Amino acid sequence: MTQLKLQGIIPPVATPYTSDFQIDKPSLRKVIRHLLDGGVHGLFMLGSTSECVFLNPQQRGDVLEVAMEEAGGKVPVVAGVMDATTDHVIGHARQAQSLGVNGLVVTAPYYTRTSQAEIVDHFAYIKEAIDLPVIAYDIPVCVHVKLARETVRELSSRGLACALKDSSGDDGNMRMVMLDHAAEPEFAVLTGSEIVADYALLGGAHGCVPGLGNVDPAGYVRLYEAAKRGDWLAARREQERLIALFQIVFQGLPHTSMGASGVGGFKTAMQLMGLIEERKMGRPNRLLPDAGVAKVREILAASGLL
């Protein structure tokens, strides 16, 4: 197994649909080129923002094929293999492996309720089945259980995960996790936050997985580069610009759920920017209402992206 070194900006790539809910491959290619042109350091396909759990195996495969072609070895491609239980995850992982991805992103099981010990077992079963680097993905808002600090330690010490993507919003705990692993430079910690990425980088995070990076990859790359060179004021200014842009995620409310408002905000912006044909999302997510679309346009314009 080759090593996977994750760092920098690795956006969870949005998944554009055609009008009949197939993968819109031309739009997906355009999105990936937009990201690579923006300077991103990796691609996270089939994440939560990518609507992974809405896709069937054919669609998951289509997305990964396009990504591998477009990435062309220039940046690593990691694949979300989200599913409720161990053996479904292994099935997705086999497909992803056969398509050549560089790593897997694995959450705790969901729907079924598992203990921290069973979560460790879950990662162990996957590692046993698939010889690929695994990024542990902490996203309690979706799976409704948190990867405990001790669980992350066990995943690392047993070689069951080579990185953590922390989308829990618990930045204090993530900070302690980073220090727990300070002596393991090969263990990467990535934040899933769009709005406190500069914080995480100051704390020693290796990178950021921002959904908003679909809209403004160059902004996140600038933020990351400022942080790398220790120019924290420049990082902060870039972060503040991106927080203003981030307000696009609230424009579906209360017509839609927060989930649909967020992904819908990204897709609406991407459509307005000419990156994708359709802004539809997987069912039953509702589209942003017209007033929300107008507000997204306004925010984009204010951010200099239109």
- Residues of the shown chain interacting with a second copy in the complex, contacts defined by CB under 8 A: 21, 48, 51, 53-54, 56, 82, 84-88, 91, 109-115, 117-119, 121-122, 125, 141-144, 169-172, 175-176, 179, 193, 195-196, 198-199, 202-204, 230, 232-233, 236, 239-240, 243-244, 254-260, 282-286
Dihedral Cα 265, 267, 273, 277, nearest 10 deg: -150
Q: Tell me which residue has tokens 């900070």.
A: 175
Select 2 or 22, whichever has its Cβ closest to a second copy: 22
Select 36 or 298, whichever has its Cβ closest to a second copy: 298
Which residue from 163, 115, 109 is spatially nearest to 139, judged by alpha carbons?
109
- Rounded least distance, CB 286 to a second copy, Å: 6
Q: Are the C-beta atoms of 178 and 151 separated by less than 8 Å?
A: no
Select 32 or 82, whichever has its Cβ closest to a second copy: 82
Select 2 or 58, whichever has its Cβ closest to a second copy: 58
Q: Are the C-beta atoms of 200 and 9 separated by less than 8 Å?
A: no
- Neighbouring-strand partners of residue 23: 17
- Rounded least distance, CB 143 to a second copy, Å: 7
- Rounded least distance, CB 75 to a second copy, Å: 27
- Rounded least distance, CB 243 to a second copy, Å: 6
From CA 4, how far away is CA 185, in angstroms rounded?
12
- Quick one: 77 exposed, middle or buried, by C-beta within 10 A (0-12, 13-18, 19+)? buried
Which residue from 223, 267, 239, 261 is spatially nearest to 24, judged by alpha carbons?
267
- Rounded least distance, CB 29 to a second copy, Å: 24
Q: Are the C-beta atoms of 7 and 206 separated by less than 8 Å?
A: yes
Select 52 or 71, whichever has its Cβ closest to a second copy: 52
Select 58 or 98, whichever has its Cβ closest to a second copy: 58
- Rounded least distance, CB 276 to a second copy, Å: 19
